[in-house]
Amino acid sequence: MNAHPETERIELRLLLEAVYLQFGYDFRNYSMAHVKRRIEHRLTLAGLASISMLQHAVLHDGVMFQTFLQDLSINVSEMFRDPPFYLALRNEILPMLETYPSFKIWHAGCSAGQEVYSMAILLHEAGMRERGLVYATDFNHAILEQAREAAFPLAQLKDYTAKYQQAGGENSFADYYTADDERAVLRSFLKERTFFSEHNLVTDGVFGEMHLVVCRNVLIYFDRSLQDRVVGLFLDSLCPGGFLCLGSKESLKFSRHAEKFEVVSEKDKIYRKRRAA
């Protein structure tokens, strides 16, 4: 993109406004640095000279619109990402959830389901699968279909196995999948009591009354005002004493909702909704 920076900024804002007005997807409060990088990449691949040309294509070509959605969807994830976090879940949070007769977990922005199935393995090894319901949501329909398949490239297994072990895994990771020449498919029991559905953190509302909300490495793509709004959504979706887990580069330190939470582990980005006095 060689446009004047101010012209480019206006074009970018117009594109995001047009997508919101036409399709209802709201990227207007995403980090502009992130959006700009993704759009520059798409312009190069599509051979388009300006954001205005991309806007026309997105509004009038359904395939290009779906491509645009994929570009701005946050699909970087892996099983047992940040093993110390999962070790903290295993040793500190699950024992507290176990004190409830039943519990609900919400994975917000679940991508292709790697963290959802990591949680399923933790619950299985803790003997808690039958007492918990897991809700996994994303705004991206295509990535949710991938999550439901529970299949991953074989090339990722070595890394996943190592992280599982670092996270305190009690069994052989190979117990949890079957493999063919190209991919590993997780065993079907890990999907039990797990529900995948579309939910947009930017535009949709409160999601049930949860005992644990996991939303890791999503807020970093939002601007400060949207981060606060989404943390407020999580606050309203948690039951008193419920837990919120964020990503390694995220924090509630600067959120206007920070005082509504107590810090369980700043290192592992685990917080707990305060009970009413």
Express each pLDDT in 160-200 by its tens digit.
999 999 999 999 999 999 998 889 999 999 999 999 999 99
Which one, of 155, 143, 91, lies nearest residue 115 by Cα?
A: 143
* Weakest mean pLDDT among 17-21, 73-77, 234-238, 268-272: 73-77
pLDDT of 212 > 70? The answer is yes
Per-residue pLDDT band at 3 (split at 50, 70, 90): low
Instruction: List the single range of 147-151, 201-205, 234-238, 255-259 with lowest mean pLDDT.
Output: 201-205
pLDDT of residue 64: 94
pLDDT reported for residue 77: 80
Q: Check pLDDT > 90 for residue 267.
A: yes
Residue 202 burial (C-beta neighbours within 10 Å; 0-12, 13-18, 19+)? middle
Tell me: pLDDT of 128 over 80: yes
pTM of the prediction? 0.88
The per-residue pLDDT for 73 is 78
- Compute the average pLDDT of residues 94-117: 96
**Mean pLDDT value across the chain:** 93
Q: Does residue 52 sit in helix, strand or coil?
A: helix
Question: In the Cβ-directed half-sphere of 163, how many Cα atoms lie within 13 Å?
Answer: 20
Quote the CA–CA distance of 135 and 204 in Å, as a whole number. Answer: 15
Give the torsion through C-alpha atoms of 259, 265, 266, 270, to 10 deg.
-70
Q: What percent of the chain has pLDDT over 70?
A: 98
In this predicted model, what pLDDT tens digit does every residue of 25-51 receive, in sequence order? 889 888 888 899 999 999 999 999 999
In the beta sheet, which residues pair with residue 180? none
Q: Which of 167, 177, 183, 11 is nearest to 89 (CA)?
A: 167
pLDDT at 277: 59
Helix (H, G, I), strand (E, B) or coil at 210: strand
Q: List, in sequence order, the alpha helices (H) in the chain.
A: 5-23, 32-46, 51-60, 62-72, 83-88, 94-97, 114-125, 141-149, 157-166, 224-237
Once rounded to an integer, what is the mean pLDDT over residues 196-220?
A: 93
Rounded to an integer, what distance in angstroms lies between the CA atom of residue 35 and that of residue 226? 14
